[in-house]
């Protein structure tokens, strides 16, 4: 347990991370039998005694789909924008990547490629699991880009709340929208900048 914590593993982890802690994959079954490690799902484990947090589902999803980006409604919740409490974890994956199949947590997948894969993406972590997430400005722009999935009311709520809380500026939104066009957002920003 000490070695795992010393290697930065405090909650969820994948078997490959044991090597960083100076352990071997062959020691994992013994850790599970002893109760020091709990198997949460296929290829996903958690240290015994790790306290559940509100980010458990995000940590679990990012550990199971490591090359993903937390986006849309999940990113809104993390950034404290709007009133959405999504039942699923929203992740972006590369355009040609295989769709992950998880029973728990439930996932909503969107596809990204080119500039949409890198623009406005920040490194973060959830319960010790390295992750990537869209920035507040990118998240608001994405809400307008994917309005058909989340609805126009949610997009406007996100825009208004992000501006009110000063988490984004019209200039930031315009810069992101130039690269990742969102027609309705551009029209709304043009009216607000008058």
pTM given for the model: 0.83
What's the total number of domains in the chain?
Answer: 2
77/121 same-domain check: yes
95/34 same-domain check: no
34/60 same-domain check: no
Render pLDDT for 78-93 as a digit per residue (tens, 0 to 9): 999 998 889 899 999 9
Provide the domain limits for residue 75.
56-192
30/108 same-domain check: no
Render pLDDT for 36-51 as a digit per residue (tens, 0 to 9): 888 877 777 888 877 7
35/88 same-domain check: no
166/149 same-domain check: yes
Render pLDDT for 113-159 as a digit per residue (tens, 0 to 9): 999 999 999 999 988 788 999 999 999 999 999 999 999 999 999 99
Structure confidence at residue 193 (pLDDT)? 65
73/147 same-domain check: yes
13/63 same-domain check: no
Contact 72, 150 (CB under 8 A): yes
């Amino acid at each position: 347990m000490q070695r795992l914590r010393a290697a930065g593993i405090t909650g969820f982890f994948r078997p490959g991370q044991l090597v960083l802690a100076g352990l071997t994959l062959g020691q994992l079954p013994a850790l599970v039998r002893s109760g020091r490690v709990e198997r949460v799902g296929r290829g996903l484990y958690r240290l015994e005694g790790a306290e559940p947090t509100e980010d458990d589902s995000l940590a679990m999803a990012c550990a199971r789909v490591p090359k993903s980006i937390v986006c849309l409604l999940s990113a809104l919740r993390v950034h404290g924008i709007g009133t959405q409490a999504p039942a699923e974890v929203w992740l972006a994956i590369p355009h040609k990547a295989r769709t992950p199949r998880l029973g728990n947590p439930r996932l909503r997948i969107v596809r990204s490629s080119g500039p949409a894969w890198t623009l406005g993406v920040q490194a973060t972590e959830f319960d010790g699991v390295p992750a990537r997430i869209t920035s507040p400005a990118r998240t608001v722009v994405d809400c307008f880009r994917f309005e058909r999935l989340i609805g126009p009311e949610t997009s406007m709520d996100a825009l208004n709340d992000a501006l009110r809380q000063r988490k984004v500026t019209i200039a930031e939104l315009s810069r992101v929208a130039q690269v990742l066009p969102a027609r309705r957002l551009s029209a709304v920003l043009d009216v607000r900048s008058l």
